[in-house]
């Protein structure tokens, strides 16, 4: 009964369009005042201590690093390198942007940042070369979602926080699925481009390729720093985020010099703005899950889910459906913060591997980012391409369907996610 | 005039907190690395850095509380606006105002609750100490474990940040009522930084 | 009539000595009061985390906790840091002599102005050292990165041994030891076993240099407001569960050590009396250094009760 009241109130408040963080907070406050003995001051305490957790600090660090990478010329050089490698195939520039998105995703923890970084450079070029804008946008929206699947990823950090799963293991677990998704997207792109006879670029010689690689080297080195640093014990996963921020600052200002020192305060301010928004949702979601725990709801819901005897496969199917549904209305961080504590206990009892479960949720979030009504990648791409949401929705369909197929593969083939962390001794 | 100064202060504060936290962790990691290097380690051992994580967390929590207020002004706090966007402009306007006032209500309540909490958690004692009238029944608040800073000072980010956020909600609400405009955040753009130069590549000769 | 609810929150798993002690208290309390009291257990930081549980208790959001004694320093009762002094206790009896005696009661008294009442001390055994290389002599600590919990005494202790203390969240410890972000740590065997620390460490030294204990505490206002008969029944429940918790801590630590040995991954070393004496000498400056924080009288009272003899 209480569960019904809590969730109805939350849903009603959210549908009024107020910030998700505020609707979470107001739900909690209303509930505490009217239905529990919990002293109301503990709400204020939780608002501080809710994010007083070291792992959460990776979120602002990765956002800062992402902003330096996006505006510091790293993306541009990665695109040049990718174009030199695959530009001569059918749909060459589009394939190059998938490759560039994958490379950028290796160092950046946000899908939106990936779409912005690669899209804002490559989309104008694609139009100039005679590709339809909607084709380019469709590619970028979906390939950009790799940003939260490959290595560092803010949704993974948030999942790790809410379920006490190893961040390092989640990072590397996304590697193989990421490569697979990139290949699947590339295959679809290549097929469409060949069918419509979209332009190809001149094949580059190995000398030119090497030159392009050398220029993008400093950006790619960040992969070595993040993975190598964690693996060799130079720093922890959270510290890796801070090191990534410092390194990308250094590369943007002193190596590539695409960013001026006087631009740095603006990047800091913008990163602080974005991080504060996320941290504020996290705080209120922590508050929300505190109320749920106080009422013992996650366990009751887990018991209820288990009592339906779905088995592991059926359970994962239901999880996918719910998450895809939630992806219609909310952003990844809010979905994970609200849903993970509810599904996680049941998943553990059914013997799902926590890392596999995390990647499965992550892929669901990727899909949600790419379709309306709420889909950040779509909105950002619409901003860059000046195309309407309806048109973009049609444009993204072939790749979106591919992602759903990919989601099924990830869900029912745990080996794909678990093999790399197992090889690295993280599981 | 007052608003302009406040805006500046807010922006400088959150940018500074972001940079400071990053620097602290960078230095702590370098310090730990150097402490493993022979010869340098004797020097490194003399420097205490055990407080780095705690300081970083405090800096980020402060950044979060004040940045959230800044975020109201820039319109970055995301909501589910699918439903209200399909309504008539008048009805949509009502819901927008309702949402903004709800934000003001929540943050205002937190400011008061947080203020009470901070007061009971040591600020009261500190105040009585200051005016030289200590009392038995008012206890001295706890400190943070590593830096040993009084937690009431650290926690005061809640009432201060929430009060500012409440003010921002009211400000945005008033502007919306007057002009019908809401601040809108553009994800693809960092303010003041030039647009990316588009790519220039050669096409294959057919 | 609705039962009186005691929310008992703690930060460890239900199957640890503390978790089992809490479970036993719940059973005893509910049985002894004939169901007039209902104890709700919240293990694993479900409700409140390490850093906030004390404030939550003071606010009355939760009625009962069992934090480690190191948590009372930040609360403003630095005298409790005496329990962290290295090699203060030679064995469990020596520890119980302190907690069951006048000093234990006096320290609990100091919590009352903070709105907290101490009910019992729960023993959890002696700290041992672990690392990826053997730690026999003090010189072996040179330059080692050792993970500690936030504690000024432990910080000073690692420095006195020549190691670099690293404050680190417990959640990051396993991976940090595995990759080598830190070289070693210290703790009780039962934690090393349940948290699988032994999988990522090659050597352990039975130094018994430190001691881990918890205090069962309640919100004073709540406790004083209970009907007298119920309070007496609860006190009896606390007393019985304390005996149980102390006994189980020692068996669990023994079992954990057996388990670690059986894993074959760790070399366990018991230092000679001469080596221990060398450690003690190196660590005496820590006792001196802490006088300004803990208070000379408290340290001396502890010396006397514990039967502590300074190393020669
Ligand atoms: Na990524
Ligand atoms: Na969506």
- DSSP assignments along A235-247, one per residue: S-HHHHHHHHHHH
Task: Write down the pLDDT at residue B206.
Answer: 39
| pLDDT at residue C234 in the model | 96
pLDDT of residue B77: 86
- Residue C245 scores a pLDDT above 90: yes
pLDDT at B201: 60
| A240-282: pLDDT as tens digits | 889 999 999 999 999 999 899 999 999 999 999 988 988 898 8
- Selecting from B50, B136, B140 the residue whose C-beta is nearest the C-beta of C76 gives B140
Task: Compute the average pLDDT of residues B16-39.
Answer: 91
pLDDT above 70: residue B199: no
- Residue C292 neighbours by CB under 8 Å, 6+ apart: none
Q: Return the number of CB contacts < 8 Å for A and C.
A: 64
Q: Which of residues 88-147 of A touch B (CB under 8 A)?
A: 88, 93, 112, 115-116, 119-122, 124-125, 128-129
Residue B150 DSSP one-character state: B
Write the burial class of residue A274 (CB in 10 Å: 0-12 exposed, 13-18 middle, 19+ buried). Answer: buried
A414 and A353 Cβ atoms separated by less than 8 Å = yes
* pLDDT (mean) for C201-216: 95
Q: Are C107 and C77 in contact (CB under 8 A)?
A: yes
Residue A117 has pLDDT above 60, yes or no: yes
What's the gap in Å between the CA of A293 and the closest CA on chain B? 21
The answer to whether residue B205 scores a pLDDT higher than 50 is no
Q: Is A88 helix (H, G, I), strand (E, B) or coil?
A: coil
- Res. B48 pLDDT band, cuts 50 70 90: confident
Q: How far apart are CA A54 and CA A92, in angstroms?
A: 43
- pLDDT exceeds cutoff 80 at B8: yes
Does B184 score more than 90 pLDDT? Answer: no
Q: What pLDDT does residue B187 have? A: 67
C-alpha–C-alpha distance, residues A275 and A269, integer Å: 10
- B141 CB neighbours in chain C (<8 A) are 76
Burial of A109 (0-12, 13-18, 19+ CB in 10 A): buried
Contacts of A156 (CB under 8 A, 6+ apart): A109, A148, A167, A170, A171, A174, A358, A362
The residue that leads in pLDDT, B36 or A149, is: A149
If pLDDT is split at 50, 70 and 90, which confidence band does C233 have? very high
- Confidence category of residue A174, pLDDT binned at 50, 70, 90: very high
Mean pLDDT of C217-232: 95
- Name the closest residue on chain A to residue B22, using Cα atoms: A242
Domain ranges of chain B: 2-184
pLDDT band at B200 (very low <50, low <70, confident <90, very high): low
Among chain B residues, CA nearest to C162: B45
- Distance separating alpha carbons of residues A31 and C117, to the nearest angstrom: 30
Encode C256-267: b = buried (16+ Cβ within 10 Å), e = exposed: bbeebeeeeebe
Minimum mean pLDDT range among A155-169, A203-217, C154-168: A155-169
Is A270 an interface residue toward B (CB < 8 Å)? yes
The percent of residues in chain C predicted with pLDDT above 90, rounded, is 74
For residue A384, the chain B residue with the least C-alpha distance is B188
Question: Cβ–Cβ of B38/C150 closer than 8 Å?
Answer: no
Q: Do C51 and A49 touch (CB under 8 A)?
A: yes
- pLDDT value at A356 more than 90: yes
Query: What spacing in Å lies between the alpha carbon of A109 and ligand 1's midpoint?
Result: 4
Distance, CA of A382 to CA of A393 (rounded, Å) = 10
β strands within C132-274, DSSP E: 145-148, 164-167, 184-187, 203-219, 267-269
Q: In angstroms, what separates the C-alpha of A358 from chain B's closest C-alpha?
A: 24
> Which residues keep their CB under 5 angstroms from ion ligand 2?
A 327, 368, 371, 374-375
How many A from CA of A375 to the centre of ligand 2? 4
Q: What is the mean pLDDT of residues C166-178?
A: 83
Segment B155-165 shows an average pLDDT of 95
- Which chain C residues contact residue B114 at CB under 8 A? none
Q: Cβ separation of A42 and C51 shorter than 8 Å?
A: no
Average pLDDT over residues C260-266: 91
């Amino acid at each position: 009964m209480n569960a019904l009241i809590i969730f109805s109130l939350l849903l009603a408040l959210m549908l009024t369009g107020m910030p998700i963080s505020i609707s979470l907070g107001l739900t909690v406050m209303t509930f505490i005042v009217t239905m529990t003995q919990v002293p109301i001051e503990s709400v204020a305490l939780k608002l501080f201590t809710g994010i007083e957790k070291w792992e959460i600090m990776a979120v602002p660090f990765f956002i800062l690093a992402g902003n330096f990478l996006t505006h510091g010329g790293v993306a541009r050089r990665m695109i040049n390198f990718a174009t030199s490698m695959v530009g001569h195939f059918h749909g060459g520039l589009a394939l190059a942007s998938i490759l560039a998105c994958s490379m950028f995703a290796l160092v950046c923890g946000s899908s939106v940042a990936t779409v912005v970084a690669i899209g804002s450079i490559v989309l104008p070029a694609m139009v100039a070369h005679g590709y339809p804008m909607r084709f380019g946008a469709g590619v970028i929206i979906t390939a950009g979602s790799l940003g939260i699947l490959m290595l560092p990823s803010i949704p993974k950090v948030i999942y790790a926080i809410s379920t006490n799963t190893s961040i390092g293991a989640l990072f590397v677990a996304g590697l193989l699925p990421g490569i697979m998704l990139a290949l699947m997207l590339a295959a679809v792109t290549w097929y469409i481009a060949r069918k419509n006879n979209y332009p190809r670029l001149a094949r580059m010689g190995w000398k030119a390729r090497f030159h392009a690689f050398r220029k993008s080297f400093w950006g790619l080195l960040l992969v070595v720093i993040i993975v190598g640093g964690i693996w060799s014990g130079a720093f922890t996963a959270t510290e890796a985020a801070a090191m990534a921020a410092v390194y990308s600052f250094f590369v943007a200002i002193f190596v590539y010099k695409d960013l001026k020192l006087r631009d740095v305060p603006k990047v800091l301010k913008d990163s602080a703005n974005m991080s504060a928004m996320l941290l504020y949702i996290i705080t209120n979601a922590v508050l929300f899950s505190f109320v749920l725990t106080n009422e013992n709801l996650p366990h009751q819901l887990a018991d209820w889910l288990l009592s339906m005897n779905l088995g592991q496969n059926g359970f994962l199917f239901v999880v996918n459906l719910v998450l895809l549904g939630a992806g219609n209305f909310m952003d990844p961080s809010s979905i994970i913060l609200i849903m993970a504590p509810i599904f996680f206990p049941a998943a553990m009892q059914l013997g799902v591997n926590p890392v596999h479960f995390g990647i499965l949720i992550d892929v669901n979030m990727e899909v949600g980012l790419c379709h309306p009504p709420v889909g950040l990648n779509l909105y950002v791409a619409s901003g860059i391409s000046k195309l309407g949401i309806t048109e973009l929705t049609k444009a993204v369909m072939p790749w979106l369907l591919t992602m759903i197929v990919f989601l099924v593969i990830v869900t029912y083939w745990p080996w794909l996610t678990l093999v790399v962390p197992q090889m690295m001794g993280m599981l | 005039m007052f608003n302009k100064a406040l805006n500046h202060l807010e922006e400088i504060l959150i940018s500074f907190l972001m940079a400071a936290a990053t620097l602290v962790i960078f230095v702590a990691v370098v310090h730990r690395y150097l402490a493993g290097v022979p010869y340098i380690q004797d020097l490194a051992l003399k420097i205490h850095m055990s407080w780095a994580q705690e300081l970083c967390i405090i800096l980020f929590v402060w950044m979060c509380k004040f940045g959230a207020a800044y975020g109201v002004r820039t319109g970055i706090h995301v909501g589910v606006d699918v439903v209200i966007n399909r309504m008539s402009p008048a009805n949509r306007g009502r819901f927008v105002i309702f949402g903004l006032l709800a934000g003001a209500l929540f943050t205002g309540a937190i400011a008061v609750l947080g203020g009470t909490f901070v007061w009971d958690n040591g600020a009261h004692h500190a105040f009585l100490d200051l005016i030289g009238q200590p009392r038995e029944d008012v206890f001295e608040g706890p400190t943070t474990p590593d830096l040993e800073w009084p937690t009431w000072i650290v926690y005061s980010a809640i009432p201060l940040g929430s009060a500012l956020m409440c003010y921002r909600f009211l400000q945005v609400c008033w502007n919306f009522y007057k002009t019908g405009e809401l601040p809108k955040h553009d994800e693809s753009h960092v303010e003041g930084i030039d647009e990316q130069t588009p790519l220039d590549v050669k096409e294959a000769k057919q | 009539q609705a039962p009186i609810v005691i929310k008992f929150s703690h930060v460890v798993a239900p199957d640890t000595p503390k978790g089992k002690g809490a479970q036993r208290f719940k059973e005893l309390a509910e049985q002894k009061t004939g169901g007039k009291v209902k104890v709700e257990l919240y293990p694993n930081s479900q409700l409140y985390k390490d850093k906030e549980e004390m404030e939550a208790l003071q606010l009355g959001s939760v009625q009962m906790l069992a934090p480690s004694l190191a948590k009372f320093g930040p609360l403003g009762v630095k005298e409790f840091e005496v329990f962290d002094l290295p090699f203060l206790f030679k064995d469990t009896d020596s520890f119980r002599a302190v907690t069951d005696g006048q000093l234990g009661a006096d320290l609990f008294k100091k919590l009352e102005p903070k709105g907290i009442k101490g009910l019992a001390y729960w023993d959890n055994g002696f700290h041992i050292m672990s690392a990826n290389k053997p730690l026999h002599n003090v010189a072996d600590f040179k330059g080692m990165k050792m993970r500690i919990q936030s504690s000024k005494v432990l910080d000073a202790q690692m420095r006195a041994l020549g190691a670099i203390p690293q404050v680190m969240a417990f959640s990051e410890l396993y991976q940090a030891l595995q990759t080598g972000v830190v070289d070693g740590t210290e703790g009780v065997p039962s934690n090393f076993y349940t948290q699988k620390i032994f999988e990522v460490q090659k050597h352990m030294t039975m130094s018994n240099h430190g001691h881990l204990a918890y205090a069962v505490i309640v919100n004073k206002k709540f406790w004083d407001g209970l009907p007298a008969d119920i309070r007496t029944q609860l006190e009896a429940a606390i007393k019985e569960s304390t005996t149980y918790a102390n006994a189980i801590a020692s068996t669990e630590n023994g079992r954990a050590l057996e388990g670690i040995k059986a894993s074959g991954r760790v070399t366990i070393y018991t230092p000679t009396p001469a080596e221990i004496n060398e450690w003690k000498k190196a660590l005496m400056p820590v006792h001196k250094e802490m006088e300004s924080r803990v208070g000379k009288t408290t340290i001396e009272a502890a010396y006397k009760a514990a039967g502590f003899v300074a190393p020669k």
